[in-house]
Structures are given as C-alpha cells and as structure tokens.
Amino acid sequence: MLDIKFIRENKDLVSAGAEKKHIKFDVDALLKVDDKRKELLVLIEKKRAEQNEVSEKMVRTNIEAEKSQMIAEMKILKEELQKEEEELKKVMHDWQVLMVSVPNIPDVSVPEGVESKDNKEVKVGGEIPKFDFKPKDHIELMQNLGILSLERGTKVAGFRGYFLTGDGARLQFALWHFVQDFFMKKGGFTPMIVPSLIKREPFIGTGYIPQGEEDLYKTQDGDYLSGTAEVALMSYYADEILEKKDLPIKMLGFSNAYRREAGSHGKDTKGILRVHEFYKFEQVVLCEASHTESVKYHEEIEKNTEEITEALGLPYHVVVNCAGDLGLGQVKKYDIEAWLPSENTYRETGSASYFHDFQTRRLNIRYRDDDGKMKFVHSLNNTALSGRPLIMIVENYQNADGSIRIPKVLQPYMGGQNTIEKKK
C-alpha cells in the first residue's frame, strides 16, 4: 500500500506506474473518495467537540430550562453525528478497497512488456547437456525407476496429486538438507518453520489479496492455505516497532505450499512440474527504508539462489521481469529459470522481488531512524528452493539406461550414493 500523501503529491507518477504494469486503476476516483473521507472526519470531529462543549455547560448550570434546551441540542447533535459516522463507514470501506488496489511503482530499470514472454535475459549460467540419446522426461524416468507414483497420487489426492517414494523421497530430503546447510555456512539467516494455514489479514498485508485470491485455498473458517512461507514470515513482525540496529533481519522459512493453479487450466497437467501441494524454502529480508539498501539485498538474495543452482550443476538463466509480469506490490523482480531438457527450454524455479514499504505499510512494521522519525522498513523475498529443482536434476542428470546420476553436493546426504538405478 502506498502512502495517500505520496499518491496525492505524485498522482501522475502513480498513474504512469499502473499503466506500465498494465493494471487498470483510477487515481482520480481514489482522491475523490479521500476528499470525502477527510471532509467527514473534520465534520465528525467538529460535532464531537460541540457535544463535549454542551456536556460541560450542562454540568455547570442549575437552571432546568437551560438544561432542557441543551438536552434538545444534544439530541440533534447525536442524530447528525450518527448519520455522518454511518456515512464515514461506507466511505472508509470504499477508500480502503481502493487503497489496497493501488499498484506499486516499478523501478525505472524494469523493461516494458505485457507478459512473461517480454521478460529480458540478463545472465546465463552452466552448460546445457548434450545427450547422445533421446532424453526422457521426468515422468518416464521417475516412474520407470519406481520413485514417483502419479496414479496412486491421483487416487489419494485427486488431480495433480503424487507420491515420491524410495530414492525419489531421499533425493528430495537431500535437497532440503543441502539448502539448510548452504544458509548455515553463509550465515545471517534465521531458519524458521512457519505455518501454512493463515488468517486473511496477512494475505492482505503481503498483497496476495485481493489480486491473487482466486489461487488460494480457503477453509470454511475463513482462513487460507498459503502458497509461500513469505506470507507468514512477513507477518511475523506485524504491528511491531523494530530496532534499527537489528536491521537487516534475514529469515529462511520452510513450509508446505498450496496453490489452486486457478489460471493454469490445461498447463503442465502431466508430471509434477505444476502441482497443488509442495514444499518450499523462502528467503525474506527486512531492511532500512532505503532504495539503495533494497537494491543491494535484492541482488544478494537472487545471488543466493544462483549459487544453489550452480552448486547443483543445473544450467540456468536469470531474467528481469517486464512491468506487465510484476505483481501489484513488486518494484522489480528477477526470475531464476533452470534448463528442462524434455521441453528444450528454461522453466522458472524461483523469483526474487523487492517491494519498498508496500507490504510493511499494510502490516505496520516500523523502526525509529537516526533522526527519531518512525519509518516503515523495506521488504524483499526470494525462493531459495522450490519443488522444481528435483525435476531438473532428474532430467539433466539422466543416463541412456534411464538411471540418474546424483549431483556431487547431494551425495553426502544420500550416504555416498552416486546413482539412482532401478531396483532389482
């Protein structure tokens, strides 16, 4: 959420930002509602002051006629005040709906564009494997090895359900252990296991509601299942005042992730590239209210995921997302995409974003700066590990006989095993 004062003072900039993101938003409509909100607040404050004044006069007088007159005045004031307060409730609702719909302004370095095909490649890493045989996809490889069951997954969990078994599960465990150790060696990040079943307010605070509500699972109690640990991590410090000396705060969250994939009907319906339930490590950083600091930590958390991808020996590239491919609150975003041989293309494995104070203003996370002023911290996040690198390892490390080599960095977590072969 942007500051209403900032919106008023930078109306054209906010409008241009929305246009660049290809998000329809009428800034004039918001300012009109805000004018009405301020007008009603002044009227209500004035009426309450009048009520207090009449109440004080009633205490000081002993003349019944005057008291009766004052009671009549109080009755009129009360009725008028109730009417204006009811009107303010409606105006505040409209104001709040519009305020949470204002898109953040993209950075000047963000390229123009409408969708993901307009994203710009900024870095390429690793070597794309050259097979002397026709490579299989992860579905055929894993099912032949007996480490993935889609049929039983569908039987138990429905569409997009799956089981990882045997060495498939061990390989996934190895990835989790590797990432945990990676951040322990790097230092600075607090590991956290966070809830996935979360109240509505944190989703509003992080910007997933209202824009992304259709992709969330909702319980009958009104709570939601989160698609990322970011929501819980960002809300950990909601309504708190942090110490500047403690910034930046770096968190590494691990959680289940749930996504309805509401806008993905017909996409990636086979295999486990796009599923409803998976596990995820997420980096979240809270830093000082400085664009320079935000940019610095944005590059840092993106680099962390690059280093993980490189250590796993996966070919990858990094793209900077075009404005039309940014979310409501994102100022800038990188996507890290690893090579998927069966599709002969790169597929996303993580996204690194920064928001300035868009999320923290909603969540009310502040700190006191050196000048004594209260400021909202800036927030950033990036995927450390999603469920997809498992698929990329299986396909990039496959052999002609259908066995799979295990990346060297993962072998210690699998008891020294270096290959996954079909069990006899």
Tally DSSP H helices, then E strands, for the chain. Answer: 12, 18
CA distance to 43, 64, 65, per residue, from 70 (Å): 20, 10, 9
* Residue range 81-93: mean pLDDT, rounded: 92
* Residue range 374-382: mean pLDDT, rounded: 98
| Cα separation, 116 vs 347, whole angstroms | 11
Select which of 351, 353, 379, 386 is catalytic. 351
User: Would residue 351 show up in a list of annotated catalytic residues for this protein?
Assistant: yes
Q: What is the dihedral of CA 218, 196, 363, 25, to 10 degrees?
A: -40
Q: One fold for both 4-99 and 116-420?
A: no
* pLDDT score recorded for residue 79: 86
| Cα separation, 174 vs 187, whole angstroms | 20
Select which of 87, 290, 348, 405 is catalytic. 348
List, for residues 170-221, the tens digit of each pLDDT value.
Answer: 999 999 999 999 999 999 999 999 999 999 999 999 999 887 899 999 999 9
- Token reading at 198: 């979360």
Do residues 350 and 126 make contact, with C-beta atoms less than 8 angstroms apart? no
Select which of 37, 200, 260, 274 is catalytic. 274
Q: Is the pLDDT assigned to residue 54 strictly greater than 80?
A: no
Select which of 160, 170, 366, 388 is catalytic. 388
* pLDDT score recorded for residue 265: 67
Q: Tell me the percentage of the chain whose pLDDT exceeds 70.
A: 99
List, for residues 220-271, the tens digit of each pLDDT value.
Answer: 999 999 999 999 999 999 999 999 999 999 999 999 999 998 766 678 789 9
* pLDDT score recorded for residue 64: 72
* pLDDT score recorded for residue 72: 81
Sign of CA dihedral 263, 268, 273, 277: positive
Looking at the whole model, is its pTM more than 0.85? yes
List, for residues 103-158, the tens digit of each pLDDT value.
Answer: 999 999 999 999 999 999 999 999 999 999 999 999 999 999 999 999 999 999 99
- Tell me the pLDDT of the chain averaged across its residues: 94
Q: Which band of pLDDT confidence, cut at 50, 70 and 90, is reported for residue 56?
A: confident
Select which of 149, 170, 255, 259 is catalytic. 259
Q: Is the pLDDT assigned to residue 70 strictly greater than 80?
A: no
* Domain over 4-99 is classified CATH 1.10.287.40: yes
Q: Minimal CA–CA distance to 115: which of 322, 374, 393, 263?
A: 322
Domains in the chain: boundaries: 4-99, 116-420
Architecture field, domain 116-420: 2-Layer Sandwich (3.30)
Q: Tell me the percentage of the chain whose pLDDT exceeds 90.
A: 84
Sign of CA dihedral 209, 214, 220, 225: negative
* pLDDT score recorded for residue 17: 96
* Residue range 349-355: mean pLDDT, rounded: 97
User: Would residue 348 show up in a list of annotated catalytic residues for this protein?
Assistant: yes
List, for residues 306-347, the tens digit of each pLDDT value.
Answer: 999 999 999 999 999 999 999 999 999 999 999 999 999 999
Q: Which band of pLDDT confidence, cut at 50, 70 and 90, is reported for residue 60?
A: confident
